[in-house]
Amino acid sequence: MARGNEVMHKKDLKKLALLFPIVFLAGCIQLGGGGAGTGPGLSINSFSPSDTQVEPGTTVVLTLILENRGNSIARNIRIELGGLTDDWQIDGRSRSIPDLDKADPSRGVNTAPRDTLDWTLVPPGLSNKLDYQAVAQVTYDYSTTLDTLIRATSQDYWRTNKPKTGVIGPSNVATGPISVTVKAPNSVFAGSSVPVYFEFHNTASGRVVGPAIDTVNVQISGSGISCQKSQVKLIQGKDGFLRCDASTGGVSTFKDFRVSMTASYAYQLTSITTISVLPRAG
């Protein structure tokens, strides 16, 4: 009786395998941060096959269109194609493309630069219809920059004139998948050391993967400013924070202290499309 139950169990497993015919290329793609691949920085404008239902042995072209919607150059762009089993004929799963420039109206580049990548595929012969989910995983290097001023005044000057102090700006922010805001106390007086907080936000649909997973490299420069660390953790769904301290000496009336920040990171996003392979004729 136990032997009969074991045979029936194996038959049931085979039936279940046919009921759920979605195939992934195991071990190659780690989905993270959603499947749309959108947002500032490098964005997946389109990822689709030339035909969503294909006959076995026929050619299908899978096209990926990337667009740089941020204010920095996307560098070291690598693409991995997953979700298609080894019995597919594919002209290279791993690809790379040249750096993708940013829009720059001063140079006549008024729209987001883009690049297109094609894979030529031949699906396997099957006895039943099977849906495959092709996955494009795009990894690239990017940076977000911020320049701002922190205004400090003397106590006497502030009592007489009541000027705005603290963060004046930011005067310039370069957008990317990681955005940054800066905060300082509302009142900044000469001769004191004031805390300056940088907040990092993931505004795109992917995740930071370098220099380590969920880690951003940060460089901050400015007269009299020092920071507790040079890397910030940016776990998915949460903001990252960095505290620095700015010294405000040498002010007789008021003075603007310039602070510049560059966040450098590798970013990864994914997009998914479905290709249905029809059964062999006959």
**Strands across the sheet containing 60-68:** 42-49, 60-68, 114-122, 89-90
Number of structural domains (the chain) is: 2
- Residue 236's pLDDT is 73
- Does 27 share its domain with 167? no
pLDDT at 19 over 50: no
Structure tokens at 57: 């042995």
Residue 95 lies in a domain: yes
**Dist. CA 206–CA 38, nearest whole Å:** 8
- Does 120 share its domain with 218? no
What average pLDDT is seen over the chain?
86
- Does 255 share its domain with 177? yes
- Does 129 share its domain with 28? yes
**Dist. CA 235–CA 250, nearest whole Å:** 39
- Residue 34's pLDDT is 34
Predicted confidence (pLDDT) per residue in 204-251, tens digit? 999 999 999 999 999 999 988 999 899 999 987 789 999 999 999 889
* Cβ atoms 163, 186 nearer than 8 A: no
* Cβ atoms 190, 159 nearer than 8 A: no
pLDDT at 129 over 50: yes
Residue 219 lies in a domain: yes
- Residue 36's pLDDT is 55
- Does 118 share its domain with 132? yes
- Does 174 share its domain with 114? no
Indicate the pTM of the whole model: 0.84
- If you average pLDDT over residues 110-124, what whole number do you get? 94
- Residues with Cβ within 8 Å of 89's Cβ and at least 6 positions away in sequence, in order, are 121, 122
Which one has a higher pLDDT value, 135 or 105?
135
pLDDT at 16 over 80: no
Residue 6 lies in a domain: no
- Does 137 share its domain with 147? no
Percent of the chain with pLDDT over 70: 87
CATH of the domain at 146: 2.60.40
- Does 161 share its domain with 122? no
Residue 227 lies in a domain: yes
Query: What is the residue type of 231?
Result: Q
- If you average pLDDT over residues 131-139, what whole number do you get? 97
Look up the domain containing 89 and give its range. 21-141+268-277
Nearest to 19 by CA among 11, 27, 28: 11
